[in-house]
Structure 1
Amino acid sequence: MIIRILGEGQFDVSDADLEELNALDSVVDTAVRAGNEEAFADALQALLEGVRRLGTQHELDSLDSSDLILPMADATLAEVQEMLADDGLIPG
């Protein structure tokens, strides 16, 4: 799966790692729905770090489309709220 972090690039993440990323995404979703700015900022950073840690940088000159798009590290709660689906930023 190719996950794009806006403003940063694409990462190849194995399907086996999606469970861990879904758990991190759930914390982001909970914080956004509660309107908790501090918890949201920490949770978003943890999710993005998870993608960086579990994934590998996708070829920079590749034209492959992303399977998922995550907000940039400095995204606001309101911006992420607009991106959320019913099951968070990462479906599943």
Structure 2
Amino acid sequence: MIVRIMGEGQLDVADDDLPALNDLDSRLESAIDSGDEETFRAALHSLLDNVRKVGTALPADSLEPSELVLPPVDATIDEVRAMLGDEGLIPG
């Protein structure tokens, strides 16, 4: 799956890594629902850090379509809330 982190670039993430990312996505959703800025910030950082860890960066000039777009590390709760779908940021 091609994942774009806004403001950073694209990474190729293996399907096998999606369950762990979904768990982190659920934690992020819970933090948004609670409105706790500190918990939200930690959850967002954990999700993005894990995507960077398991993903393989694509070249900057790559024109692959992104299957998933994640917010930048400095996104606000309201910005991320607006990006959430029925299944969070990461479907599945």
With structure 2 as the length reference, what TM-score do the two structures score?
0.97
SS at match of 1:24: helix
5+ residue gaps, structure 2, are: none
Shift, 1:59, TM fit = 2.1
- What is the identity, as a one-letter code, of the residue corresponding to 1:31? A
The CA distance in 2 between the partners of 1:33 and 1:65, in whole Å, is 30
Moved more, 54-63 or 72-81: 54-63
Shift, 1:34, TM fit = 1.4
5+ residue gaps, structure 1, are: none
The CA distance in 2 between the partners of 1:71 and 1:53, in whole Å, is 16
What RMSD in Å do the two structures reach over aligned CA positions?
0.6
The CA distance in 2 between the partners of 1:45 and 1:53, in whole Å, is 12
Aligned length: 92
Residue 69 of structure 1 corresponds to: 69
TM superposition outliers: structure 1 runs of 4+ over 4 Å: none
After the TM superposition, which residues 28-43 of structure 1 pair with which residues of structure 2 at under 5 Å, given as runs? 28-43=28-43
- What is the identity, as a one-letter code, of the residue corresponding to 1:80? V
- What is the identity, as a one-letter code, of the residue corresponding to 1:22? N
The CA distance in 2 between the partners of 1:3 and 1:59, in whole Å, is 13
- Identical amino acids, percent of aligned pairs: 55
Please tell me whether residue 59 in structure 1 is matched to residue 68 in structure 2.
no
The CA distance in 2 between the partners of 1:87 and 1:32, in whole Å, is 14
After the TM superposition, which residues 1-92 of structure 1 pair with which residues of structure 2 at under 5 Å, given as runs? 1-92=1-92
The CA distance in 1 between the partners of 2:33 and 2:63, in whole Å, is 34
